[in-house]
Amino acid sequence: MINPASNQGTARVDTKYALEVVPLPAFNDNYLWLLHNGRDALVVDPGDAAVVERGLNERGLRLVAILVTHHHADHVGGVLALKAKYAVPVYGPRAEAQRIAGLSQLLDEPDAIVIDALGLRLSVLAVPGHTLGHIAYYSAEHGWLFCGDTLFAGGCGRLFEGTPAQMYASLQKFALLPPQTQVFCAHEYTLSNLAFARAVEPGNVAIRDEIERVKGLRAAQQPSVPSTIQREHAVNPFLRCGETEAVQQARAHTRHSLPDEVAVFAELRRWKDGFRAEP
């Protein structure tokens, strides 16, 4: 069910447990994710403390936890201010503890955490690639994936620290999740990602239809995310590295041989890094 959420996009509601997931737009294209039950809340990747405080105040919420996926400033910039004001635990990647100030609960796969105030259990997935210590949070009960900058709607994160093999393995973890899993990524990159997807698979009707759907959402000033794992299997070139058309286009784009899906992924990622066309 989709409900209005102030002027900050849409809220995704699990009616059985009365938990909402609300996107808080920040910077140029970030989404900070606020989960709440009408009283208590947690925030994922609070890059801007002021945005989070405004979201809390507008809804009369009490912050009970902070979750972090990786060390980049647009994901952690508000951590210390929020921790100082609300005195809440800050969960984040053990492997990046030296790069994220304020972490109090260090995590790695196969850890799981329980946020008692929300009745929420989250499994931790290690997903190196964008950064070496990047983690994601998955609720099997609700079908929610908070994946930071690893998987995007129609795309994936740049490889700032990890290898193509690491990133491809991380994406394959997500690919194996149930099809209806909602993908709460951290940026509004969908249209540019889909423009690249169309270049990779110009004959893919699902990509064409998804571009039109997302254009409609953005014209209405609505977020294009969350996506779903099922949708990403249909349109995301980085989850389609074994598909004939994607492989052929990747081979045509490079002079190197592409012996396996990791090599196809690596070439698609290099291609995307220099891609500029808009849909």
Residues labelled catalytic: 70, 72, 74-75, 130, 149, 187
Tell me which DSSP letter residue 225 carries: -
- Looking at residue 192, its amino acid is S
Cα gap 93→124, rounded to integer Å: 9
CA-based nearest residue to 24, from 58, 69, 73: 58
Residue with tokens 């609700």: 142
Pairing type for strands 40-44 and 62-67 reads parallel
How many Cα neighbours within 13 Å face the side chain of 91?
A: 21
Cα gap 149→30, rounded to integer Å: 10
Full strand arrangement of the beta sheet holding 144-148? 112-115, 120-126, 135-139, 144-148, 182-185, 227-228
